């Protein structure tokens, strides 16, 4: 029997039911097919392709053209999972640019777009949602702001920063965002945000008490070179196939076994 297609309302129902959401990145049709077959709920074509595909030291060199190419490839490998695509650096700095960039990604096959930033992104989120484009917001460590942040550092440790993150999350939800990714924030802060919001909150280095988890595919498969972030786990260790590693990741997230305490902050 063909598995039921994952949708935005379906993700909201999963949060309401307490069912953890699984997400992985993918960048081509072959890996997308394997990820989909493993039962992953959401596939993210991340601008992390700049790092893991092109060998860049940041995501800043990724363009909309790059994203369109990879979204089209991943789309061909999926049947069940919801396909999310990153809006790359400077592709959504105002409403008109955000609409143009997101339109290209949606025509390529994306079912949701992701953007980084807090309350300053509310006009863009509203504009996209008004035109029927689902939005995933991204707070905490936002890699497109790496130079502004002074590196890849945990965010929200200080009370003022934590308060600002909570406020940003509420503002983005009110603007219409249907999903939120929290990256590299203290587990307690992430848990409080997930509890406060109606929309699902997906963590990466944000503890286990959120609504789901996302990792870069190449980290899950142990392909990424060291040093690896603290929140990464190599699921290929002790397994003899990519399919087994992906299934182990899905099971670990759904059972609440990943992330463990050592993967958080």
* Residues identified as active-site: 183
The residue ranges of DSSP E strands in the chain, in sequence order, are 21-25, 42-45, 82-86, 112-116, 135-140, 179-183, 201-204, 212-215
**In whole angstroms, how far apart are CA 7 and each of 16, 27, 212?**
14, 20, 15
Measured over the CA atoms of residue 234, residue 237, residue 241 and residue 243, the dihedral's sign is negative
From the CB of residue 103, how many other CB atoms can be counted at a distance below 10 Å?
14
Cα 163 to Cα 152: distance, rounded to the nearest angstrom: 20
* Consecutive H or E run containing 196: helix 187-196
DSSP-derived 3-state class of residue 146: helix
Closest CA to 135 of 171, 161, 187: 171
Half-sphere exposure (Cβ direction) of 72: Cα atoms closer than 13 Å = 9
DSSP-derived 3-state class of residue 112: strand
């Amino acid at each position: 029997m063909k598995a039921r297609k994952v949708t935005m309302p379906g993700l909201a129902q999963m949060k309401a039911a307490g069912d953890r959401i699984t997400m992985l990145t993918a960048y081509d049709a072959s890996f997308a097919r394997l990820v989909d077959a493993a039962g992953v709920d959401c596939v993210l074509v991340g601008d992390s392709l700049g790092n893991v595909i092109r060998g860049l030291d940041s995501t800043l060199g990724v363009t909309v053209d790059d994203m369109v190419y990879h979204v089209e490839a991943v789309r061909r490998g999926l049947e069940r999972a919801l396909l999310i695509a990153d809006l790359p650096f400077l592709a959504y700095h105002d409403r008109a640019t955000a609409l143009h960039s997101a339109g290209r990604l949606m025509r390529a096959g994306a079912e949701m777009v992701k953007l980084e930033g807090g309350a300053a992104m509310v006009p863009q989120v509203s504009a996209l949602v008004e035109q029927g484009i689902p939005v995933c917001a991204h707070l905490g460590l936002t890699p497109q702001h790496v130079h502004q942040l002074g590196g890849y550092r945990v965010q929200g440790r200080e009370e003022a920063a934590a308060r600002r993150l909570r406020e940003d999350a509420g503002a983005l939800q009110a603007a219409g965002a249907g999903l939120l990714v929290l990256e590299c924030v203290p587990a307690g802060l992430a848990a409080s945000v997930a509890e406060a919001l109606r929309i699902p909150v997906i963590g990466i280095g944000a503890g286990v008490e959120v609504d789901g988890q996302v990792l870069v595919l190449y980290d899950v498969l142990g392909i990424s070179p060291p040093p690896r972030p603290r929140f990464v786990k190599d699921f290929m260790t002790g397994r003899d196939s990519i399919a087994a590693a992906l299934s182990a990741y899905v099971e670990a997230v759904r059972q609440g076994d990943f992330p463990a305490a050592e993967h958080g902050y």
